[in-house]
Structure 1
Amino acid sequence: MNKFKTIIVALLVISCASDDRETIIINNTNLLSEDLENRSIELNSVIACAASDSQNSNVVEIYFYSEEGASNFKLYETNSVTVDSGNFSNYRFVDLETSPFFNGFLDRFIRSSASEQWIIVTYELDGEIKISQPIRTKNVSQPTTYSNNVAINQDITTMPIFNWDINSDVDNAIFFQVMSTLDNGVLSGTYTLENQFQYYNTSNVVLNITEQIPPALTSGIPYKFTVMDVSSDNWVNAIFTLDFIAE
């Protein structure tokens, strides 16, 4: 799929199974600032966000887009949220493997922590290190909430309209919607500033990461709609998921 360098707050989140969780190894001597020395870098060029797991708020999932050809995915974190998030000397390397999410539509890291940190994701592409904006985890003070409280209007055949509540106008910056099959095959990925989306009407879409013209829904077939309420510091406040049968 085409990947975007434009930094926005975005997220797709589904709770992870316990088998996906790894033991975290933190290399205290390997700082982000040192890894960037004498390297060509591009700031704010990795779209990334994070959310707490639906069953265990001490588990945080970090989601990011990787451009085609990207490699050497890395995760860095600070000791606390009180440090300067813009100072790369405050970030230590966390040795974790990535895993595909939404059938590879996104990549993700999964980490366990009972505290909150700032997090940065990096990867390499064409000899350059791409760096995300800092992500402020809030798994202790504001765990991600999960709900299926999404209203659906199917008056227009195979073009359902979805509406959902905004938990807080102060915390919200953008919404990310994914229409998919029940087995997480992505049909469309869109961003709106409004708490409404119609498949497939892009009149209120501010960013569209759909690969191709999405297929029309088929009446009588089940689908899944997922929407993320994301804050300006890239924490996912809420996840709404609705399974429905197209009419």
Structure 2
Amino acid sequence: MIRKKYFLLYLLFFCLVVSCDSDDSEPLTDTTLDTTLINREFVIDNVIACAASNENLNTISVFLYPREGVNNISFYETVSLETDKNNFSNYLKGEGELIDVFNGYLLKYEITPQQEKWVIVTFEEEGIIHLSNPIRLKQNTKPTEYLSDNITVDANSFMPVFTWQDGIADDSKIYFHVVSDENGNLLSGTYTFEKMFQYYNLDNVVLNITETEPPALEIDSNYGFTLMAVSEDNWVNLFSEITFEVQ
């Protein structure tokens, strides 16, 4: 009887220890991207997304453009870079809160990975799952550079011209630029291969996420211009922001 009593006490103590250890650990998910896609229609390379290390180097922002009407936005990540980026079974569903960018026109996850890895962003649209291209995180080997003096603005008309130079990295393939008002609302969002954009001239624009015709700019009003120089594997090499006024 005494032995049974001690055994029960030991078992209770053991369960308490295991319970405490479990509470202290971070929640993990074993949901992989390939299991999410089972028996589902999906489209690859149909989510606009990229990632940048933040200035404090402690977090990474994973940006995405959520087309109107999409839902179930998620991201999936590999354990490391050594895994096959094209094998969806290597991607585990990540945990994170979506944060508004440009008052919700764009969204981002802020994550704190300990090592470089691959990330894929997904969302659903009319019952179909859409996937971004794999994004290669480079927070250790090529942290995002933050500059503002690399941009020149000719604002002597209602169609200001923006030109810029690359920073340290020389492998940027495309440039994403946003013109916003003084309240942070996105007026235009465009991509060019050239290091030049004129508001609102689409002659050299290769991708346009501006959903409606943007307004004409007003004299003596404050505006913002944001630039991301993006590599072929969707890493932001350079992030620049300036303010300007139309003269």
Instruction: Settle same-fold status: TM greater than 0.5.
Output: yes
2:49 corresponds to 1:48: yes
* One-letter amino acid of the counterpart of residue 87, structure 1: N
Aligned-partner Cα distance in 2 for 1:50–1:211: 22
Deviation, 1:108, is 1.4
Greater fraction strand? 1
Q: SS at the partner of 1:45?
A: coil
Aligned-partner Cα distance in 1 for 2:215–2:128: 36
* One-letter amino acid of the counterpart of residue 96, structure 2: L
Q: SS at the partner of 2:35?
A: helix
* One-letter amino acid of the counterpart of residue 166, structure 2: I
Q: Which residue of 2 aligns with 1:92?
A: 92
Q: SS at the partner of 1:173?
A: strand
Q: Name segments (4+ residues, structure 1) moved above 4 Å.
A: none
Contact 2:190 2:208 in 1 (8 A): yes
* One-letter amino acid of the counterpart of residue 86, structure 1: N
Taking structure 2 as the reference length, what is the TM-score of the superposition?
0.84
Answer 1 or 2: higher relative contact order, Cα 8 Å, separation at least 6.
1
Q: Which residue of 2 aligns with 1:57?
A: 57
Q: 1:25 to 1:232 in 2, by over 3 A?
A: farther
Contact 2:66 2:105 in 1 (8 A): no
5+ residue gaps, structure 2, are 1-24
Aligned-partner Cα distance in 1 for 2:113–2:40: 30
Q: Which residue of 1 aligns with 2:245?
A: 245
| CA distances 1:189-227 after superposition (whole Å, capped 9, x unpaired) | 111111111122222111222222221211111110111
Aligned-partner Cα distance in 2 for 1:204–1:244: 22
Structure showing greater radius of gyration is 2
Q: Which residue of 1 aligns with 2:15?
A: none
* One-letter amino acid of the counterpart of residue 32, structure 2: L
Q: Which residue of 2 aligns with 1:116?
A: 116
Q: SS at the partner of 1:95?
A: coil
Aligned-partner Cα distance in 1 for 2:147–2:35: 42
Q: SS at the partner of 1:206?
A: strand
Q: 1:183 to 1:130 in 2, by over 3 A?
A: same
Q: SS at the partner of 1:143?
A: coil
Q: Which residue of 1 aligns with 2:233?
A: 233
State the number of aligned residues.
222
Q: SS at the partner of 1:158?
A: coil
Contact 1:50 1:61 in 2 (8 A): yes
* One-letter amino acid of the counterpart of residue 161, structure 2: I
Aligned-partner Cα distance in 1 for 2:215–2:224: 14
Aligned-partner Cα distance in 2 for 1:160–1:141: 36
Taking structure 1 as the reference length, what is the TM-score of the superposition?
0.84
Contact 1:25 1:94 in 2 (8 A): no
Contact 1:24 1:95 in 2 (8 A): no
Q: Which residue of 2 aligns with 1:189?
A: 189
* One-letter amino acid of the counterpart of residue 131, structure 1: L
Greater fraction helix? 2
Deviation, 1:168, is 6.2
Deviation, 1:48, is 0.8
| CA distances 1:22-48 after superposition (whole Å, capped 9, x unpaired) | x97441x21111111122211112111
Q: SS at the partner of 2:172?
A: coil
- What's the RMSD between the two structures over aligned residues? 1.8
